[in-house]
């Protein structure tokens, strides 16, 4: 990348989030959640560019078994998966007031993404959600500069009784503003940032992870599936999200950008910088040290079908075998690192 942006900015950081914040992410066991709304209206809100909010009630049982109800607002989000021609059910954003969330599992969260099933009636799409969730958890094992997630089995109920309920796996994703507070940083929403502007270690993790997952659907300069956070000394940390177009998931609807020299998402392509073997060594060491925890993210995910788990294991095993020969690995990267991102 040729363009460089001067990044050092002085700013007053918000106070770190209190200790009770984001209780949703303190545990990793799946939630059972019911969301009640005008379901038919929500599902039909697909192709408009207008921001439409849908009133809803989110309910779950607490540790004592008592029902807890939270008033929330929903809106459809995303690009590809929001379009009705691509998916039967849209990704959602869940918003709630501070008062509504008080004394509930969602206290400390005002906004959350809900990664939902594209086609709830088809079992393979259910698996895509679980695979993508596992990838988020794998990246969390590498660095705290990552989005927290919580798996949920969701029943979507229609408040009018006219639309049949929809049940599916989904997962909540931490809001980028909450992530920034947690890391004592702020969002840095400037396009045109170059690789050289980024914190080297975090970017090393990110680009090696994207290669491992077989994900080319990201761009630093275009802020595509990348959040940038700037800490108090002006250092910019990149955080990836949205992994459903990766080779590790291998979704039926996913395909590489036509400008790239690959034709299938399962073909890995290095889209990072042109580092030497020495410069890549810290990232490789980090991956190797965290391999057991990363592998457990999908190996211990009970709802994942055994054949899907094995397919994912074999695909990731190809990557792990490359780490045994760092020079060969870097040589592979240098073939395409000039493509940029």
**Would you state the pLDDT for residue 199?**
94
CA 223 to chain centre: 14
**Would you state the pLDDT for residue 10?**
38
Residues 194-235 pLDDT 10s = 999 999 999 999 999 999 999 999 999 999 999 999 999 999
**Would you state the pLDDT for residue 198?**
94
CA atoms within 13 A on the CB side of 197: 24
Phi-psi region for residue 3, left (φ > 0), alpha (ψ -120 to 50) or beta?
A: beta
* Residue 17 per-residue DSSP state: P
Q: Would you say the pTM of this structure is higher than 0.85?
A: yes
Nearest alpha carbon to residue 288 among 205, 206, 207, 214: 205
**Would you state the pLDDT for residue 333?**
87
**Would you state the pLDDT for residue 48?**
65
Quick one: CA dihedral 209, 317, 149, 57, positive or negative? positive
H/E element holding 293?
A: helix 291-299
Secondary structure class of 88 (helix, strand, coil)? coil
Between CA 234 and CA 163 the distance in angstroms is 50
Tokens 């920034």 sit on residue? 180
Rounded to whole angstroms, what are the CA distances from 304 to 11, 189, 256, 262, 322? 44, 35, 25, 28, 26
Provide the token pair at 4.
């460089």
**Would you state the pLDDT for residue 21?**
54
CB atoms within 10 A of CB 21: 16
Between CA 144 and CA 189 the distance in angstroms is 20
Tokens 């929330």 sit on residue? 72
CA 200 to chain centre: 21
String of DSSP letters for 13-64: PPPPPPTTS-GGGS--SPEEEEEEE-HHHHHH--S--S---EEEEEEEE-TT
Provide the token pair at 325.
């020969």
Q: What residues form DSSP beta bridges with 11?
A: none
> 3-state SS of the chain: helix, strand, coil percent to 5?
30, 20, 50
* Residue 287 per-residue DSSP state: H
Q: What residues form DSSP beta bridges with 32?
A: 153
Residues 88-109 pLDDT 10s = 999 999 999 999 999 999 999 9
Q: Which residues of the chain have pLDDT under 50?
A: 1-20
**Would you state the pLDDT for residue 270?**
94
**Would you state the pLDDT for residue 268?**
96
Strand locations in 222-313 (E): 226-230, 236-240
Between CA 13 and CA 87 the distance in angstroms is 40
CB atoms within 10 A of CB 15: 8
């Amino acid at each position: 990348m040729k363009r460089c942006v001067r990044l050092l900015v002085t700013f007053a950081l918000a106070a770190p989030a209190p200790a009770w914040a984001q209780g949703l992410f303190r545990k990793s066991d799946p939630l059972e959640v019911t969301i009640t709304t005008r379901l038919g209206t929500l599902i039909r809100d697909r192709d408009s560019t207008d921001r439409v909010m849908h009133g809803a009630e989110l309910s779950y049982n607490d540790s004592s078994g008592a029902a807890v109800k939270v008033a929330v607002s929903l809106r459809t989000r995303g690009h590809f998966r929001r379009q009705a021609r691509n998916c039967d059910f849209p990704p959602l954003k869940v918003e709630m007031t501070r008062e509504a969330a008080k004394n509930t599992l969602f206290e400390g969260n005002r906004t959350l993404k809900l990664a939902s099933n594209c086609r709830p009636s088809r079992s393979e799409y259910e698996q895509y959600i679980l695979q993508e969730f596992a990838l988020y958890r794998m990246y969390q094992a590498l660095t705290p500069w990552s989005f927290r997630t919580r798996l949920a089995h969701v029943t979507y109920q229609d408040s009018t009784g006219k639309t049949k309920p929809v049940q599916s796996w989904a997962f909540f994703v931490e809001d980028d503003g909450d992530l920034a507070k947690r890391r004592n940083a702020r969002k840095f929403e400037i396009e045109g940032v170059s690789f050289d502007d980024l914190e080297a270690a975090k970017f090393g993790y990110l680009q090696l992870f994207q290669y491992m997952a077989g994900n080319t659907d990201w761009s630093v300069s275009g802020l595509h599936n990348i959040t940038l956070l700037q800490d108090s000394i002006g250092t910019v940390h990149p955080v990836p999200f949205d992994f459903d177009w990766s080779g590790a998931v291998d979704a039926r609807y996913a395909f590489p950008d036509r400008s790239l020299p690959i034709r299938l998402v399962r073909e890995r392509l290095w889209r990072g910088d042109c580092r030497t073997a020495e410069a890549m060594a810290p990232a490789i060491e980090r991956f190797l040290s965290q391999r057991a925890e990363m592998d457990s993210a999908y190996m211990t995910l009970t709802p994942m079908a055994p054949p899907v788990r094995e397919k994912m294991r074999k695909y990731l095993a190809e990557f792990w075998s490359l780490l045994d020969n760092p020079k060969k690995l870097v040589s592979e990267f240098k073939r395409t690192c000039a493509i940029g991102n």
